[in-house]
Structure 1
Amino acid sequence: MFKTLTTAFIALHVVSSAAHSTDRQITLEELYEAFGTGNLETVMAFKAKDLGTDFVFYGPRGATLLHSAAQSDQPEIATALIADGLPVDIRTKSKAATPLMIAASHCGTRTGIALLDAGAEVNAIHKSTGGTALIFAAWDNCPEMVSLLLDAGADPMIAARGRKVPNDERGLMAVDFARKHNPALLETRAGKRLVARTEAGEGCDGARVEAGDTTLEILAERVLGEAKRWRNIAKLNGLGPGKGYRLGDCLKLPV
C-alpha cells in the first residue's frame, strides 16, 4: 500500500534540498546513497545544515529524514535522528503517515523495533487511509512486522475507513487485507496470531482512551496527528457536558 506512496521519499528529499540550498558540502548523490548504505555521518551532517523550523526537513511529498530512515530500514540513523530532536511520531507534512507506518509497509522490522523502543504510537491512524501500522504490514506482506506490532499492543480490530481507501476495502481490518492481498501471510505464525486475536474480538475499532488522554485534544493529536479534530471525535461519540469519557473507553474516530 504505502510502497507506491513512499518509494520516491528519499529521492524527493534529494530533489527538494537542491531548491533550498546551493552551498551544501554534501552532494545530493551522497545523501541519497547514505540512506541505502546506512551512512549515519552523512545523514546527520545533512540534518545539521538543513533549513526549516527546528531543523525539520520536509520533501515535496512531505517526508522527513526519519521517514526516509524508516523506508530504508536504518535503525541506527533513525535512533540518531530521534536523539537529535526529531519526534518519533512526526507525521509527513500533510499529517498523514508516521515513521512506524512507513517501516511497517516496507517490512523494516529493525527500524520498527528502534521506533517502538523510542515510544512510537503503535495504533496511530493514518490521516487519509485510516490505516494503522498493523494494517500496512498485513497489506504489504510483512509477517515479522505483524508479529512485532502485535507484541507491542497493535489493535487488530481497527478498520481502515479513510477517504483514500477504495470503496470495496473501506472498513476492512488488518486480517481482511491479508486475506485479500496476501493470503499466504495467514499461514505464518504471525498470521495465525493475527487471526486468533481478531476472532477473539480483542481490540477497539477506533481509539482506546489511555492514561495520558486527559483531554480530547491530546487524544486527537496522539491517534490522528491533529489536535483540532477533537470536535469530530466528540460529535461521533456524543460527548459533551452530559457525557464524558473514561480510561479504557473505545471511542469512534472520524474518517
Structure 2
Amino acid sequence: MMRCCIRVLTTTVRSYPQAHQLLIRKMATSSSTPPPTGSSKTHFPSDASLPGERFEVRQTHETGDYTPDPSKSFPLSPARQALVDDIVALYEMKPTVQRVKRYTPDCVYNDQFVYADDRYKMAGQWFALPKLFRSAESHGYQVVTNDRDLIQFRHEEAWTFKIIPKTAVINALVSLSLDPSSIDDDFIRVKYHKDQANDKDYSNEGLGATFKKWQADNVSKYMDSPEVKEFEPDKNAGKEPRQTYGRGDEKGDAPVKNL
C-alpha cells in the first residue's frame, strides 16, 4: 500500500508496455494444462480467538521475482475467488466498508513500509491510497498456494502518483492467512495479510520496523472519513507484540520456497 510513495525514490519507474499487458491477458486464456487444485495442508492454529500475529507465514524466495503468469493460476472455489477479487479491488483503490470487513478486527497487515496490527489501522491504509495515487491498476495475478488456511498469489500492480506523473510497476507476493472460523463460509476473512516485493522476508526489527508501525499507528488518526471511523472500535481488538526474527532469511525462520 504505502510502500510505493517511498519506493519511487529508489525504484526506477516506467510506463507499462501495452504489448506486455496483451501478453498477460493472452496467457490467462491459453493454458494448455489445467493447474493443480488446492490442498488440505494447514499452516496456522485452528483457534480463531488467537490474535493476528499468530498467523504470520514466513518465506524467502531465491530471486524475488514475483511476476505472475495468470495461465498457471490455481483454481479457487467461488468463496475464495470472491475473497481474492475483493483484495485485488482494494489494491486498485476501490475500498468499501464491506471489503475492509474481509479482515478480522485483530488482523495484521505487513509490507515494506506498513505494519498495521488491527482493522482500524488497516482501514486507514486502504482509504488513504486515493489521496496519494491518481490511479492503481492490477495487471494480473497468479494464485500459487491454495491450502486449507492460506492463499498466496503473485500480483502485478501499476501505481500512478498524483504529484509525480510517473507510473511504478510492482510485482509482489501476497499472502492471505485465513481466519479459521470463516474458512468454510461464503464470506472468508483474513487474519494476516503479508505483501513481499523482494526475496527476503521481514525481520520485524530495527528502525525500519519502527517506522512501519509508526506510520500505520498514525495514518488512521488523520483520516477524516466516516468509513474509517466505523472501524474505530477495532482499536481495542486483541493483539500481541509483533514477533521478531533477527533477520529475514532461513536463519530468521523464513525458509526458501519456490512459489
Same fold, judged at TM 0.5 (above)? no
TM value normalised by structure 1: 0.33
Bigger Cα Rg? 1
TM-score using structure 2 length: 0.32
In terms of fraction of residues, the more helix-rich structure is 1
Which structure ranks higher in relative contact order (CA pairs < 8 Å, sequence separation ≥ 6)?
Answer: 2
